[in-house]
Amino acid sequence: MRLAWRAAGWIERDARLGASDIRGEYHLGILSIRSWPRRGASRVGAARESIRNRERCGVSDHESGLPPLGDDELRRYGRHLVLPEVGLEGQQRLKAARVLVVGAGGLGSPLALYLAAAGVGRIGLVDFDRVDLSNLQRQVLYDTRDVGRAKLAAASERLRALNPEIEVRAHEVRLASDNAFEILGDYDVVADGTDNFPTRYLVNDACVLLGKPNVHGSIFRFEGQVSVFDAARGPCYRCLFADPPPAGLVPSCAEGGVLGVLPGVIGVLQAIETVKLILGIGEPLIGRLLIFDALAMRFRELKLRKDPNCRLCGANPTVRALIDYESFCGVGADAAGAGAEQLTVRELAGLRARGEAPELLDVREPFEIRVAHLEGARLIPLGGLAERVAELDRSRPWVVMCHHGTRSARAAEFLRAQGFTNVRNLTGGIDAWSLEVDPTVPRY
């Protein structure tokens, strides 16, 4: 018996068994032996012959309810056709499927690319943003030439170039309670690639109320999570998180950072779960939360249970319609700086030019300061402000700043509660300063 290396794995050859009747595959350190057909190409030929036989017998793919595959598609998806779990009918199911990807960013990029490559017949994209240079570190749907373009224009172009056999529908709107049912209702599976809590709860609630599976993914710094929320067969997102965290407690990727390759891992896992749902194969992550730690290179799995008291999918639900999710999550237009007096970056620039500048408190993290800072600002990260508030003079006027104005709004409210009478929040933070006042200050 001898072992010969092949690109697909280990091929174990034995004269008694035939040249390729047995194959051992090296998967994640485990050598497994499984039976395998002599040539995968023969399955592609068999798929073509199956189509011809069905047509000769007067049975068309249209009559079976599944769209037919052309010769180019048979060649394109040949590696699927040789998989017994997929085959011709499975590929037709993929072609008939309609998947909505909410968010065309870090998660949505690999997710949409692999769904397109897999042959999902209709892919819907929801996003209203434009491509920024800072996106390119992780959002592989775009390249440098796309900076400044509408994301969905660039994404649609890229997906159609990858696979002209599919349909791409662009929903260039902010997903909200007044349009969610209309948009989600036209799809079989919803894949959530959002990066904020209001939209995450909105997608979950709309999916439960419409009876659609929600393939959830989230990322932060070096960790990602994936699950499939299908209230008909398991818990929903609200079963896991009945209420959102306090506004601003969990920093965004812009504030906390994210390893650029991490959304690639999580987005691809979401694509796998989506394909499994369409094909009806394997064990979807329903009732399970898969957690990936990139630094430890470790996967962990947590079992999730349906909450019988869930306000949305429990025995006696109280949430029967979509709500105002920004208010629910405390991040509405008025919530970010409610009660905190605002100061624009242009107003601050004028005060500094006249020598009337107030004390400037920067509540960002030290690593952010090394990227960009304003001269004369005092650094106290938001997490340590409560312990160091005594270092600040209550009698002086203060302007609090951060990256975009969210953390500083919370810091300003805290200072007012501590007896500071003259505190203002810098609207838009240092990012607005770079855009409107001094473009030499780096943006990140």
Residues labelled catalytic: 253, 402
**119 in the Ramachandran plot: left (φ > 0), alpha (ψ -120 to 50) or beta?**
left
Q: Report the half-sphere exposure of 261 (CA within 13 A, side-chain side).
A: 5
- Chain mean position to CA 56: 46
| Sign, Cα dihedral of 77, 79, 82, 85 | negative
350-361 as b/e: b if 16+ CB within 10 A: eebeeeebbbbb
Helix (H, G, I), strand (E, B) or coil at 386: helix
Whether the CB-CB separation of 215 and 228 falls below 8 Å is answered with: yes
Closest to 141 measured CA to CA, from 110, 181, 184, 171: 110
* Element of type H or E holding 11: strand 9-13
Please report how the helices 87-96 and 41-56 are oriented relative to each other, as an axis angle in degrees rounded to 10: 80
Cα–Cα distance measured from residue 171 to residue 267, given in angstroms and rounded to the nearest whole number:
20
Name the strands in the sheet holding 22-27, side by side, starting at the edge strand that comes first in the sequence.
2-6, 9-13, 22-27, 30-35
Residue 52 tokens, joined: 């011809």
DSSP letter string, 20-38: SSEEEEEETTEEEEEE--S
| Sign, Cα dihedral of 272, 277, 283, 286 | positive
| Sign, Cα dihedral of 232, 181, 330, 174 | positive
The helix/strand count (H/E) of the chain reads as 17, 17
DSSP letter string, 77-105: THHHHTSTTTHHHHHHHHHH-EEEEE--S
